[in-house]
Structure 1
Amino acid sequence: MDKKTKDEELSFFERVERMHPYKMIFILSLLGSSLIFLFLLFSFFMSLGNEGQKDIEIPAVFALSTVLIGASSFMIHPIHNLFKAEEISSLLTALRFTFFLGLGFALCQILGWKALRESEVLFSSQVSASFLYVLTGLHALHFLAAHTYLGFLIFQTQNISKDPVKYLIAETNPFWHLKYKLITKAWHFLGILWGILVLSFWIFL
C-alpha cells in the first residue's frame, strides 16, 4: 500500500494530528486573516449604503501594483518543484525575481497612499474612506511579514546552494519542503486578497 493510499484512509482528526505544527499555525493564521478581511469587507459594503455620493478616486498606481503582485505570484509558483528537481540556479532566480517584484509592489502602495493623502481621502469623514485605509494598511502588514520571510528564505537558499552536501541534507528534510510550500501559498493568498480589495474599491467607490 503506497503512502497516498494510507493518507486517504486516515480520518480528518488523524490527519490533523500528523500535521506539522508550523503548517497548523499557518492554516489557522490564514483562516483568521480571511475572517478578519471578510468581516471588514462586509462592513465596508454595508457602509456604502449609508453614505451619499462618494467622490473617492482610487490611485491609478494601484493598477500597477496589482500587475506586479500577480507577476510575483506567477514567479514564486514553481519554487517547490525547482527545489525538488535540484535546479538551484532557477530556484534562486525565481525567488529573487519574486522579491524584487514585491519591492515594486510595496513602492506602488506607498505612492498610492501618498496620492490618497494628498487628495485628503485618508482624512475624510466618510466611513468608506476609513475602510479603504484600514483594509490596505492591514494587507500591507501581512505583505511585509511575507516579504521579510521571503528575504530570509533567499538567504538560507543561497547558503545551502554553495555546498552540495548542505543542499542534499536540506532536500531530504521535509521541513525545507514545507518552507517553500507555505511561502508559495501565503504569497498566492496575498495576491488574491489584493485583487479582491482593489476590485471592490474600483467598482463600489
Structure 2
Amino acid sequence: MGKNKLARFEENRKLPNVIQPSRADALGDFELKGKWRERVFKNNNPIVLELGCGKGEYSVGMAKAFPDKNFIGVDIKGARFWFGAKEAVEKGLNNAAFLRTQIELIDCFFDENEVDEIWITFPDPQIKYRRGKHRLTHPDFLNRYKKILKPSAIIHLKTDSEFLHGYTLGILQGYGHEILTAHHDIYGAPEYEPDTLYLREIKTYYEELFSAKGKTITYIKFRL
C-alpha cells in the first residue's frame, strides 16, 4: 500500500465527518442507526445518500448547493473519499459526512424511513453476467434501499454506461417501479426540468473524464 494511501487512512481517523465502522459494528447494533440527524448533523434536515461516492465531489457539491439538506457519501474506498471529506471540513460544510462501508450493508446503518433521497453516481456497471448481483440497481439492492427510504423517496442514477441505463430501466419497468424522468443524454437534452439543472452544474471526477472522451451522460429519476 502506498504512503499516500496510508496517510489518508490515518487522516480519515481524525476527520470529524468520517465514520468508519467495522463489519461487526454493521451486523450488530450500530450506534448511529436512527440517530444520524441527532448525533452527526445536529438538525432535523433531510438525509441524502450518495452511494459509491468516489472522491466525494458530488456529495460536497450538493452540500454547497443545498445547505438545508444533509449529505452522506458512502464508499468502501476511504483513500478516495478523503478528498471530499477534507474539503468539506476545510470549507465548513457541516452538512456533509462520509461513511466507509460496503453498499450491500447499507440497511445496517440506517433505520426505516431515515433516508429521504439516494444518488447513485457513475457506479461500476458490472457488465459481465456473473457480476449482475453487484449492480447497484439490481433488485436486491433496490430492496435494501426501500428498507431505509421514506415513502415516495426519490432515487437518482447518473451514469455514462448505456448498458446500466438500459438495464435499470428494464428492472424498474419489470418490477412496477415509478420512472419519473429518463434522459439518454443530459447535456444534449433540449429541455430541462427547472429543479434538475444541477445535474449539469455538479460533476464528479469520472463525469469530467467520460465527457472529455465524448461519452454521453444518462440520468434516471425514480421511486420504488
**Normalising by structure 2, what TM-score?**
0.21
Greater Rg over alpha carbons, structure: 1
**Normalising by structure 1, what TM-score?**
0.23
Q: Which has the higher strand share?
A: 2
